[in-house]
Amino acid sequence: MTLEPLGMISAIIMMLSYPICIYAIYTKLEEAEDYLKLSTFIVTVKYRFRFGLFGGKLKRLFVIAIVILIPKVFQWRHLVLTEDVRRMPKRLKLWMVLPFLLTMSSFAGMALSWFLTESWS
């Protein structure tokens, strides 16, 4: 049994997720940051990662996606208010989380394919 097709499909999904990431960065990121403007974690990340590729927007997009996925952990550490996350519209949450999940699942698929292919050789 070969796992190369899994790696190839994961690579194709990752390549297709780039346009979605770029669209979310340039159209939805500022709106999401406006909903989370009282959260110290988001403000600090925005200040720290303002340099780099795309102005650090891809990192900020992924951080907001993680905050949306597990807000209680950040609330427990007093970094984010869960009320701010709950106030975000569902479609905006989807635009923040979808690029993150596509990228991470395709990365995991490629890594799994590589690890299992290397261990069987």
Give how far Cα 85 sits from Cα of 17, 33, 79, 100, Å.
24, 10, 12, 17
Residue 45 located in a structural domain: yes
Q: Which pLDDT does position 120 carry in this prediction?
A: 63
Span 10-28, pLDDT tens digits = 999 999 999 999 999 999 9
- Give the pLDDT mean for 24-51: 91
Total domain count, the chain: 1
Residue 121 located in a structural domain: no
Specify the higher pLDDT residue, 72 or 50: 72
| Res. 118: pLDDT tops 80 | no
Residue 105 located in a structural domain: yes
Residue 35 located in a structural domain: yes
| Res. 85: pLDDT tops 60 | yes
Expressed as residue numbers, the domain containing 23 is 4-116
Nearest to 79 by CA among 42, 49, 46: 42
Q: How many CB atoms lie within 10 A of CB 38?
A: 11
Q: Dump the DSSP string for 23-43.
A: HHHHHTHHHHHHHTTT-HHHH
Residue 32 located in a structural domain: yes
Q: Please give the model's pTM, rounded to 2 decimal places.
A: 0.87
